[in-house]
Amino acid sequence: MADVMMHFDEKTLCPFMSKEEMKTKAPYIFADKPTNGSVSERYTLASTETLIDDMAKLGWGVTECKQQRANKRSNVRSFHMCCFQNPNVYIEGEDGTIEAYPRVIITNSHDGFHSFKFMIGLYRLVCSNGLVLATQEFANVSIRHINYDFEELRRIVAQAIEATRKNVEVMNAMQETELTEEQKVEFATKAVAIRKGIKEDEKMPKLSENEVKEILEPVRKEDEGNNLWSVFNVIQEKIMKGDFHLGKTKLGKNRKARPITGAAKDIEVNQKLFETASSYLLAA
C-alpha cells in the first residue's frame, strides 16, 4: 500500500472565500457585539472575524463556512463554523498526487454559550468532500472569549498539524483493513442510525437490501474496494449529502434523504461516523 505523507510546500492553491462570500453564507461570523444581551460584563467578544484575520497571517484561509439556523423564537444563539486550509500543507500519496488537505475547523458563537472550539478535518480532492475527524488528542482544544491571545492561536495551529500527522497514520491503517460484507452492512446501518439520532443501545433501523446497496455503492472509481478507508468515505459522503433513498412516504413513494446543512449536525454526524469507522480498525 502507498504511504501517505504530509508535505509543507506550495503545490496547488485551494480557493479561499472572500469576506463578502462568508457574509452571505454565515453572517453571524461578523457580529460586532454579543447576540445575547444577558451575557456577563466580564464577557469579551472575541469575534470570529478577528480569528479569520489572525489565521490569514499564518497562511490559513476559509474555504467553507456555515451557521446554525436561527431559532424562530429567538436570535440569541449564533453558533457557526469555519473551515480553514493552507495551500502549503497537504497529504500526498506515493504517486505524487495530492490526496487531501488537512483542515482546521473552528466553531464559535457570540452569545456567551460557546468558546472557540477547534477540530481536525480533511478535504478530499477526489470528491470535494470534507471530513471532520474525531481526534481524541485534539478533542478539547478551545480559546475562551476572555483574554483571547494570538500566540495561543499559533500554538493551537501547531497542535492541529501534529494531530493531523497522527491521522495520516490512521488513514494508512484504515487502507490496510479489509471489511467483510457483513461488516459493511453493519457500518451502513449504524451510519443511518447516527444520522437519525438513534443511540447504540437503541433499536437499529432495518434497511432493505436495496437501501444498503445504494449507501455502499461508490460514486467514483477511486472509492471502490472493501478496505475500511474506502468504505468509510463512501458511507460518509452518502450520509452527509443525502445521496440515497430511505424508506417510503405515507403515499408509498420512495423517500430520498436530504443533505445535512446545519453546522452542529454536520460536526456531530461527521465525528460519530469517524468514531464508528475507527471501531472496526480496533476490532481488526
Helical ranges in the chain per DSSP H: 19-25, 48-57, 150-175, 181-196, 209-216, 228-241, 263-283
Q: Are 140 and 159 in contact (CB under 8 A)?
A: no
On whether both 46 and 123 belong to a single domain, the answer is yes
CA separation for the pair 183, 92 (Å, rounded): 29
pLDDT above 70: residue 77: no
On whether both 143 and 256 belong to a single domain, the answer is no
**Residue 248 — pLDDT band, cuts 50, 70, 90?**
low
Mean pLDDT, to the nearest integer, of 263-268?
Answer: 81
* Residue-wise pLDDT tens digits, 141-185: 666 655 667 787 788 888 777 777 777 777 778 888 999 999 999
DSSP reduced 3-state for 234: helix
On whether both 63 and 140 belong to a single domain, the answer is yes
On whether both 155 and 208 belong to a single domain, the answer is no
Q: Where in the sequence is the domain holding 195, given as residue range(s)?
A: 181-283
Q: Are 91 and 100 in contact (CB under 8 A)?
A: yes
Minimal CA–CA distance to 82: which of 101, 100, 104?
104
Unique residue bearing C-alpha cell 469575534: 47
Q: What value, to the nearest 5°, has the Cα angle with vertex 268 and ends 15 and 192?
A: 105
Q: How far out from the chain centre does Cα 141 lie?
A: 16
CA separation for the pair 208, 185 (Å, rounded): 10
pLDDT at residue 210 in the model: 87
**Residue 87 — pLDDT band, cuts 50, 70, 90?**
confident
- The three three-digit cell numbers of residue 62, written as one number: 476559509
pLDDT at residue 91 in the model: 77
pLDDT above 80: residue 30: yes
pLDDT at residue 270 in the model: 85
On whether both 157 and 118 belong to a single domain, the answer is yes
* Residue-wise pLDDT tens digits, 104-135: 888 887 665 666 788 888 776 554 556 666 55
CA separation for the pair 48, 85 (Å, rounded): 16
Mean pLDDT, to the nearest integer, of 265-275?
Answer: 86
Higher per-residue confidence, 84 vs 110 = 84
Minimal CA–CA distance to 5: which of 120, 89, 123?
89
Last residue of a domain, one of 175, 206, 223: 175
Domain count, the chain: 2
pTM comes to: 0.71
On whether both 29 and 135 belong to a single domain, the answer is yes
Q: What value, to the nearest 5°, has the Cα angle with vertex 121 and ends 44 and 11?
A: 110
Output phi, psi for 207, to 5 deg. -100, 145
pLDDT above 60: residue 3: no
**Residue 249 — pLDDT band, cuts 50, 70, 90?**
low
DSSP reduced 3-state for 123: strand
On whether both 119 and 213 belong to a single domain, the answer is no
Higher per-residue confidence, 283 vs 123 = 123
